[in-house]
Amino acid sequence: MKYLLPFIVLLIYTENIKAQHSLGIQYRASYEDKKLTLNHVYAYFDTSTIVFSKLRFYISNIQCKQKGAVVFSESNSYHLLDLSDEKSFFISIPNLFKLSFDEIQFDIGIDSTTNSSGALGGDLDPIHGMYWTWQNGYINLKLEGSCPQAASPTHVFEFHLGGYQSPYNSLQTIHLIVEKPHEPFYINFALNAWVKQIDFQKTHHVMSPSATSVFLSQLLQNCFSLKYK
């Protein structure tokens, strides 16, 4: 009898995870396998530290595939994920998990057609500060923070990555294999895998479409993974 209460709690917890799982896709940002918290001091390699003050990025064009064939394609699929608003990391897609699929695909950023479509609303409204006003285009991803290695006056780094026109198209398409489709999972963005590839001595401010923006965006390819809860 004394084990009943923990059992019920566990049952409710598990059911909650399953219920949430059935309603959409959960994203998570992590640093060294721990959930990322803004303005927290993390170790950067063995000898230094790093702090993140802002992380915002677009997830768009979500598709699910079964044996290479698209079985689901979200309409109006533009989502701004902002770490300061935890709710934004959950993308609601009711009924998604009634489908069978073995692959999830999504873009980090905004495609060129949408970039040339004029004023748009919702998550694409320029009031969210994810649009370059002086030269058109959405900012696909913003990461800001500080690191003693950053060779800027206050050791601040600001990466505003974007660009939708050749040769600086920075949009990245991520493909993730779903091996256990019926188990709750989340999509993890491992920040440590990304920032540890950046030479902060040389690169600490990227604020426009450029070769550096493309390079840093390409590094994102290895930072997203599917993890089971």
Partner 1 sequence: MNKVYFLFSLLSFAFVYFIPKQDSSFQTPSYFPKPYYDFKKNPLSESKIALGRKLFYDPRLSRNGSISCANCHSPYNAFAHTDHALSHGIDDSIGTRNAPALFNLAWQPLFMWDGAINHLDMQSLFPITHPKEMGENFTHLIEKLNKDSTYQELCYEAYHNRLISGEYVLKSLSQFMLSLVSTNAKYDSVQLHQALYTEQEQRGHELFLLHCNSCHTEPLFTNFSFQNNGLPVDTFLNDSGRYLVTKKSSDSLCFKVPSLRNLEYTYPYMHDGRFANLQAVIKHYINEKIASPTLSNLLIEPITLNDHEQIDLIAFLLTLNDPSFVFNKKYAYPKN
Asked if residue 76 binds partner 1 (CB under 8 A), the reply is no
User: What gap in Å lies between CA 126 and CA 17, rounded to an integer?
Assistant: 34
Which one, 6 or 121, has the nearer CB to partner 1? 121
Half-sphere exposure of 5 (CA within 13 A, CB side): 1
| Token code pair at residue 166 | 């050749």
The residue ranges of DSSP E strands in 67-120, in sequence order, are 69-73, 78-82, 90-92, 103-108
Site for partner 1 (CB under 8 A): how many residues? 17
Q: Indicate if the alpha-carbon torsion angle 25, 30, 34, 39 is positive or negative.
A: negative
Asked if residue 131 binds partner 1 (CB under 8 A), the reply is yes
Q: Tell me the window of 50-58, 94-102, 111-119, 180-188 that interacts with partner 1 (CB under 8 A).
A: 111-119
Contacts of 119 (CB under 8 A, 6+ apart): 126
User: What gap in Å lies between CA 90 and CA 77, rounded to an integer?
Assistant: 13
**Min dist. Cβ of residue 21 to partner 1 (A):** 32
Asked if residue 118 binds partner 1 (CB under 8 A), the reply is yes
**Min dist. Cβ of residue 129 to partner 1 (A):** 6
Q: Tell me the window of 80-88, 124-132, 145-153, 175-183 that interacts with partner 1 (CB under 8 A).
A: 124-132
Which one, 135 or 201, has the nearer CB to partner 1? 135
Would residue 97 be called left, alpha or beta, if left means φ above 0 and alpha means ψ between -120 and 50 degrees?
alpha
**Min dist. Cβ of residue 39 to partner 1 (A):** 21
**Min dist. Cβ of residue 120 to partner 1 (A):** 6
**Min dist. Cβ of residue 123 to partner 1 (A):** 11
Residues that bind partner 1 (CB under 8 A): 115-121, 125-129, 131, 133-136
